[in-house]
A and B are shown apart, each in its own frame.
Chain A
């Protein structure tokens, strides 16, 4: 690089020279498109300007020229129109049937006729208007593509038979099956299941009879039935039977019953047509009819360990494993298989780590009780006064009034003590969220791998509906307050973690560099620079966490949390709208009071 170039700031630049003229872009028929594009740019193209190919053969034209957006839109419009017309095949036969007895089927006839006329009108309108729209838009879309191509040379341009082939493949894949589906009635729910059963059963029979053809199988079975019938007839004909003969007779009857079922299965199998299979595999449900043997039915139980007790360790326990016999011939789908496996896993963990679960439950219960007592023993005037002073110090007079009247609402409706139970749950859950979420957030901000692991987990946690958190909590801890706290923590912790990490990551690189340049250690960097600068973000996370905890504290009433939520769930059960509504308002007010005061504190912090 010469010094002059460097000084003038004009770095030598490779300007790619590419012919971007319409003839190169359009390839065939360039004269026509050249004039159309020119008129379009000048605003001279009349509204009704129409591309005939777009009107008549839109799929082929758009694929040939690579205007894929148009291909998909025209395909969708045509298919919708045709599907509407296809309804004739679906309801036509029904209508004919109904006309066999017009007086009895008057209602049906009227209904089918109405449906068909609506379908036909909509179908024709979609086809005609759709094609018109495509014809009108074709050249305009094509011009859009041209503009894009001028910027990005990789955009589809020219004409290509290869694209037409792709389009035809798509058509073949999409159109026939969709149109066929439109002509068919909904398939009976059990039909596909019965089909699979008949097929599996017949396969088993084929192998047990040692034949390969179904016709052989039926004749073999018929032969066997004839034999049984003759034998039974002779036995029944004789006047007196020995004990042996009598037991033989009942054996024959049993065998006959079994054989009848087998013959039925084979008949079912023969009744399954190719069309039935096609309907089940491709147009009904996703073909997940796979069946597997269920997992082993195991239960784990913790029982006193007599050996160890005998050796002098009193109170020793051990986990035993009990296996139940499998049910003969039971097969389950994959969903059930997985669900049962998970159940077994949870069962094992519960038995194996009973000590840990008990200890955790105990700690949670004790801390809940402590906090609850603190809330409930503090006289309400003190708490109300405190809240109002906070509101007055950090927010405006409006908030003071709001806080005052909200808390009066609780007091007047005698919800105070119950609201304090909810508060206790929220406080304990939030405290756990802070103690766990803050370090995890810091770790996530500092460590790429930690971030890589934690981020998706948090995303999933935030998308799972809150009710689902109750299930594992109940599975491990049963129904009581501690699992409610845990479910609340799990539900409420993501914003704490995420916003802590965000706040730390937001600290500018240059600020951190300055701190290091003045001799800060990693630890000092965290405590004196990163955490203080992340405080607004962390406070925002805390606010969100508290709100989520409050909402989850309500929902976890389903698994035994006390407080306002319990009133709501009880009201749900008894269909007492009034009670539920009042409790709901109380929850909303508590949430708003906390939110307002926290917002006030946050904004006074961020003024610094």
Chain B
């Protein structure tokens, strides 16, 4: 059972959303036409995906592409115009307000781009907020909050006010707040986008190592493909409210679904992303062109899952192609030409 299942979700903003959605389904109207005819804005357009336990799922897209809108459906801060969302198998659209509040407080933690901490509360009280809402007593709240603070390496800052902390530290507090109630799911809406590059890098690394330990099911939003590749086990790319492609970083980089995704991918370094198996040439076709492989030479060898970086390492200092071997068999060959084309992302001639 998937932890989060999003199935055919639509969100159209405006009073005439119902009419608009019918028109879009029947006539396939675009964003501008819907705005013109119904005064309605398409926020999310038929989005479906699932997130498995412990997975980090990245939603990536330009600003305004509907990422925030989509992720707010998952804790029902926004009601979908159509479609269903199931959390741990339960349809949240059918939940009563009480059950929904319990779900939000206990099962889902959320981190916001602008931190959204409560300025009048100490860091500790901010972190204990969800627990307080559930009526947990002050003693346990403080204990849990301090533990969460330690997790984000902010030990000893519990009695400060948020305004006394730097942006990076505030976002750590935001993360600690989301973790304090030990929820199963983390929703992170561009948590690091407002931070300096260096601090962002730092927090990314820390979050990754933290994830290794706690294994939270995470939906991570970003507008930065590099970040998505670093953080995400899988990536969903959004354009104009629609999810245009879902896949691993390698899938997306090697086989972009459309021009929009291709444009994103164009600037990405493929060194660490693409594996040998994606670019290698079958032995027969190599033989057909360049003649048989001469056993006398000591060919460099690699495994199919090795990345281009490794192949470059192996190819330097020798004129020989690299043999890709799997289970003792040679399954493919990478020549210098193939390697260079592979780095560029173009097909070998």
Residues of A in contact with B (beta carbons under 8 Å apart): 2-4, 6-7, 508, 510-511, 513-521, 524, 528-529, 532-533, 535, 608
Contact = CB atoms under 8 A, between A and B. Distances in A.
Contacts of B120: 532-533, 535, 608
Contacts of A532: 118, 120-121
Nearest to B258: A3
Contacts of A2: 259
B158 to A, nearest CB: 16
A514 B112 contact: yes
Nearest to A524: B133
A516 B78 CA distance: 11
Contacts of A529: 118
A392 to B, nearest CB: 25
5 contacts: A6-B239, A510-B112, A518-B130, A519-B103, A528-B132
**At the interface, is chain A mostly helix, strand, loop or mixed?**
helix
B264 interface: yes
A517 B129 contact: no
A584 B177 CA distance: 56
B170 interface: no
A513 B77 contact: yes
Nearest to A533: B120
A7 B260 CA distance: 8
Contacts of A514: 110, 112, 116-117
B62 A6 contact: yes
A3 B263 contact: yes
B215 interface: no
B272 interface: no
Contacts of A508: 116
A2 B239 CA distance: 11
A608 B161 contact: yes
Contacts of A521: 97, 101, 133
A514 B162 CA distance: 15
A519 B112 contact: no
Given A3-B262, A4-B263, A517-B187, 7 more contacts: A7-B263, A513-B112, A514-B112, A518-B109, A518-B133, A519-B104, A528-B129
Contacts of A513: 77, 112, 116
Interface of B: 62, 75, 77, 97, 101-106, 108-110, 112, 114, 116-121, 129-130, 132-134, 161, 177, 181, 187, 239, 258-260, 262-264
A508 B121 CA distance: 15
B31 to A, nearest CB: 9
Nearest to B163: A608
Q: Kindly name the residue among A4, A511, A519, A608 whose own CB sees the greatest number of chain B CB atoms within 10 A.
A: A519
Given A510-B116, A608-B120, A519 B102 contact: yes
A432 B200 CA distance: 52
B264 A7 contact: yes
A136 B260 CA distance: 61
A598 B197 CA distance: 45
Nearest to A516: B77
Nearest to A535: B120
Contacts of A519: 101-106, 130, 133-134
Contacts of A515: 118, 129
B105 A510 contact: no
Contacts of A6: 62, 239, 260, 263
A487 B182 CA distance: 56
Nearest to B262: A3
B77 A517 contact: yes
A535 B121 CA distance: 13
Nearest to A534: B120
A517 B132 contact: no
A3 B259 contact: yes
A368 to B, nearest CB: 36
A146 B237 CA distance: 50
A503 to B, nearest CB: 12
Top 9 A-B residue pairs of the complex, sorted by shortest distance between their CB atoms = A519-B105, A514-B116, A519-B104, A3-B260, A518-B130, A3-B259, A517-B110, A519-B101, A3-B263
A524 B77 CA distance: 16
B102 A533 contact: no
Contacts of B133: 518-521, 524, 528
B101 A510 contact: no
Contacts of B264: 7
A522 to B, nearest CB: 9
A590 B108 CA distance: 54
A535 B260 CA distance: 49
B118 A511 contact: yes
B114 A510 contact: yes
Nearest to B97: A521
Query: Which interface residue of A2, A7, A508, A533 has the most chain B CB atoms within 10 A?
Result: A7
A528 B264 CA distance: 43
A516 to B, nearest CB: 6
Contacts of B187: 517
A532 B120 CA distance: 7
Nearest to B105: A519
Contacts of B77: 513, 516-517
B116 A518 contact: no
B161 to A, nearest CB: 7
Contacts of A518: 104-105, 109-110, 129-130, 133, 177, 181
A533 B258 CA distance: 47
B175 to A, nearest CB: 13
B167 to A, nearest CB: 15
A608 B125 CA distance: 14
A512 to B, nearest CB: 9
B143 to A, nearest CB: 18
A533 B118 contact: yes
Contact of B116 (A4, A511, A535): A511
A517 B75 contact: yes
B163 to A, nearest CB: 9
Contacts of B260: 3, 6
A513 B72 CA distance: 10
Contacts of B114: 510
Contacts of B108: 517
B41 to A, nearest CB: 16
A407 to B, nearest CB: 34
A9 to B, nearest CB: 9
A533 B116 CA distance: 13
Nearest to A4: B263
Contacts of B181: 518
Contacts of B102: 519
A541 to B, nearest CB: 17
A14 to B, nearest CB: 13
B132 to A, nearest CB: 7
A209 B97 CA distance: 83
A536 to B, nearest CB: 9
Nearest to B129: A518
A6 B240 CA distance: 10
A527 to B, nearest CB: 11
B280 to A, nearest CB: 30
Nearest to A518: B130
A533 B117 CA distance: 12
A102 B130 CA distance: 98
A524 B121 CA distance: 15
Contacts of A524: 133
- Most chain-B Cβ atoms within 10 A of its Cβ — which of A518, A529, A532, A535? A518
A518 B114 CA distance: 16
A511 B116 CA distance: 5
Nearest to A532: B120
Contacts of B112: 510, 513-514
B272 to A, nearest CB: 23
Nearest to A508: B116
A514 B174 CA distance: 10
A517 B185 CA distance: 12
Contacts of B121: 532
A3 to B, nearest CB: 4
Nearest to B103: A519
Contacts of B110: 514, 517-518
